[in-house]
Copies of this chain bind each other. A is one copy, B any other.
Amino acid sequence: MSEFMSELSKVYDRSRVPLYIQVASVMRRRIETKHWLPGQKISTLVELEREFEVARVTIRQAIDILREEGLLRSQQGRGTFVAEKPVSRYWFKLGTNWDALVETIKDNVPRSIKVDNPPPFPALREDEGTPASKYVFLRSVQYKEGEPYGVVSVHLSDDIYRVAPEEFRQHPALSVLAGLKDVDVRDAHQTIVIGSADPSTADLLRIGLGAPIAECRCVVIDGKGTAIYVADIIYRSDAIKLHIDLFAGSPTRARGAGKRRASKAQANAGSGAVRGDVPSCN
């Protein structure tokens, strides 16, 4: 490696991803963020060589990737250009409240997966209720346009499952749950972290081993404080998008002075029990 690599080699050592892949992902991001506009001519190979401090062939390899993705077009003698209408990704907007969540998944048709070794029932935190006496385990894969985007693993209270076993096999469990009239849902929450795909998940979602995923743990608690639904939902990271209305849960503001935003039809009937207070950090 030449002395020019001094800066970059550090970065490369941190990731081990092939350089041309790294370069490609940076350029891809510039296109997605409109830093490079559609139709625009991008920097010449010489300029890119200098900027990334890599060999010409490496730049070319990166450009090849983006050409295959339909994001770039090269023309000999003219240059390389951003595609006129770069493909926009499909995003699955994950609902951030009960009704929205149920709404977004209600038409999903999961394909069930046979499970040989159901995983043990996961430990519940204090605020996640008490375990039911018996659970059934269901696993399915969610598809959109033939592409898998999520793996759902559910521990469902056996009592609930027996009410409508057929329904639970053919429709999203959460959706069925929401439709059951005699089930008293007291609480439901979801915890999301970013992880990496294990072999079986990678296979089901058709992504790379260790590729980034969103792990959503969703727990539904009934009126007696029993965790009737405990799900571990794994989404492809490139398929999921969260949209959070920061004022959705607090129709009145804590600080004294400010006026409130125009009402967004926030039916605020009854209990003013604002719960919030979730620790956060920015």
Contact = CB atoms under 8 A, between A and B. Distances in A.
A179 B256 CA distance: 10
Q: How many copies does the complex hold?
A: 2
A215 to B, nearest CB: 6
Interface residues of A, number: 133
Given A15-B211, A25-B196, A184-B258, A279 B97 contact: no
A187 B266 contact: no
Given A99-B250, A209-B11, A105 B281 contact: yes
A245 to B, nearest CB: 5
A181 B257 contact: yes
Interface stretch (A39-47, A67-75, A160-168, A235-243): A235-243
Top 10 A-B residue pairs of the complex, sorted by shortest distance between their CB atoms: A15-B208, A95-B280, A272-B281, A186-B261, A263-B273, A248-B249, A212-B212, A194-B237, A217-B279, A22-B210
Interface of A: 11-12, 14-19, 21-23, 25-26, 29-30, 33-35, 51-53, 91-101, 103-105, 108, 119-120, 122-123, 125, 127, 142, 144, 150, 152-153, 172, 174, 178-179, 181-199, 201-203, 206-212, 214-215, 217-218, 221, 223, 232-234, 237-238, 240-264, 266-282
